[in-house]
Structure 1
């Protein structure tokens, strides 16, 4: 390789990696073909003119993700920074990007309920995935899908349980489960490519509490029984075991044990107030993929 060619490789590598110029722009700058630019960039790597290093922050994230994958037998973990103005929004957007990249035409996507799930759905564009279907895992999700109406864009097919999340009695709940309009949608969930759920923490931040589905006295009672989290309205203790309660008998919801039979269950949650709840949810062995923030990941990785 002559000195001119080597110098040209330096210039092309600098323009591409340091100045963020496109291959087309470099082609016009030096009047050479894009094919030759690609060849020179490849040679720059071989000659170690360009050497890639992973930043310490990225390295920390990758190390944390690997620890959590091993500890909780997860397929994958995605960690976002904790120092953000709106942690919930940041985690939701990250999950939405992952889901959108993995959605294909005519796929089914199961959805739970809550603000985080709503934010995820609002950040997914269904324009490139015709006939995508959203399948609700619980009743009472229409409120959380209102964001789909605020954008002038293609909407997915909606298969929503035509009932409230909770009803007045256990007997009524049992009767509703027998209705074809409900049982058929619950059966459809078995064919979903991905399932998105939130994790409740039985605190003032939890959707069930904010929506006043639980009274303050009921919250105290549940905590005294060892409840630290809920998944789709079912309560669990710190070991991930279900804690039976009268409330759970009056809801229309896919039981969290049935989630074990679904593909790619994605949990999206973060923040200090949810540390124990997320750990408990991971102990159920239901979750396949976790989206959370760095501080939460550090807590979860502790022995």
Structure 2
């Protein structure tokens, strides 16, 4: 494929430019559900005159639908995007970036979407769409899927569609709630995923952080014990990745604990565990739900996170060594590569 692309660039360089422009138009419309021409032109930094010519062409090809409320991508357009995605990634270097990270962290798959989710809501939505594709491919009949909370996993839940109906799949929260907005809690996201796919869900109505006595007491309750056993039987875990200090404060940990975690060099948080830059667990919370040994033994662990500012945190969790798939964005991936190259540089002589 690379040789073909290089030949195209030499013989018909305009072709790749036109292809990229039309791909980006379709992609942006898909992410936006419905969008007006002016808004789309601004998002793509394109004049309305040029955009009108391109959207009229795409409509004639049956790839776009244009209504009074705005433009929508057609089903044919969605299929075209899926088929073009590997070519697009090869053209603009994302395939090489995926392979570099896959090898560096010993992953079975890396999926990189264009952009920086720190600055673009559309990029975060694209993270969700890409993670949905990975999950849809991996699902088997009667699977149990454990999901964590967080704003990125919200996008995964919201991007699932009724075309992924698998009525015997169970979605469960990986752990208790954070005590924050219900929209971001694992319980909410597990139920959303089940409803959007026609599957089933179980909920875990317990706090995220428990003292030893409360934990021991809860684990004696038959109903709690039953749902915990289901959670720990999950074949697939879908989780986000957060900055350690931000997550510690969101979870309202004691100041002494926060200081201790910081002193241990914690950079990242995932599924309630705090990791240093080498991927070592420096703190874990007493929580009902997945334990470290459950993560280690889970068949498929999918990490979904992006944004340049999270690059170091994502790298720390990948060094933990028990993720199988990483879905991230270009900004985070480039930061991870920079960190890898920096770590491989010989120390400068004093």
- If the length of structure 2 is used for normalisation, what is the TM-score? 0.62
Which stretch shifts more, 153-162 or 76-85?
Answer: 153-162
What secondary structure is seen at the aligned counterpart in 2 of 1:117? helix
Distance 2:193 2:170 in 1: 18
Change (3 A) 1:130 1:152: closer
Change (3 A) 1:139 1:238: same
Q: Which of the pair is proportionally richer in helix? A: 2
Change (3 A) 1:150 1:293: closer
Corresponding position of 1:241: 280
The question of whether the paired residues in 2 share the 8 Å contact of 1:231 and 1:256 is answered with no
**Unaligned 5+ runs, structure 1:** 1-16, 23-52
Distance 1:151 1:230 in 2: 26
Alignment of 1:90-109 (within 5 A): 90-109=126-145
Change (3 A) 1:217 1:163: same
The question of whether the paired residues in 2 share the 8 Å contact of 1:100 and 1:125 is answered with no
C-alpha deviation, 1:57, in angstroms: 5.5
Change (3 A) 1:153 1:263: closer
Distance 2:91 2:266 in 1: 35
Verify: 1:180 aligned to 2:219, yes or no.
no
C-alpha deviation, 1:293, in angstroms: 0.8
Q: Which of 273, 289, 296 matches 2:325?
A: 289
What secondary structure is seen at the aligned counterpart in 2 of 1:244? strand
- Which structure has the larger Rg over C-alpha atoms? 1
Change (3 A) 1:284 1:178: farther
C-alpha deviation, 1:181, in angstroms: 2.5
Alignment of 1:143-162 (within 5 A): 143=183, 144=185, 145-146=187-188, 155-162=198-205
What secondary structure is seen at the aligned counterpart in 1 of 2:252? coil
Verify: 1:226 aligned to 2:262, yes or no.
no
C-alpha deviation, 1:264, in angstroms: 1.1
CA RMSD of aligned residues (A): 3.2
The question of whether the paired residues in 2 share the 8 Å contact of 1:234 and 1:255 is answered with no
C-alpha deviation, 1:104, in angstroms: 4.3
Corresponding pairs, count: 250
The question of whether the paired residues in 1 share the 8 Å contact of 2:170 and 2:194 is answered with no
Which stretch shifts more, 258-267 or 141-150?
Answer: 141-150
Corresponding position of 1:121: 157
Distance 1:122 1:56 in 2: 24
Larger relative contact order, structure 1 or 2 (CA cutoff 8 Å, min sep 6):
1
Corresponding position of 1:69: 102
Change (3 A) 1:106 1:57: same
What secondary structure is seen at the aligned counterpart in 1 of 2:155? helix
Distance 2:162 2:140 in 1: 10
Verify: 1:82 aligned to 2:115, yes or no.
yes
Change (3 A) 1:150 1:258: closer
Corresponding position of 1:134: 171
**Unaligned 5+ runs, structure 2:** 1-18, 23-56, 63-85, 342-350
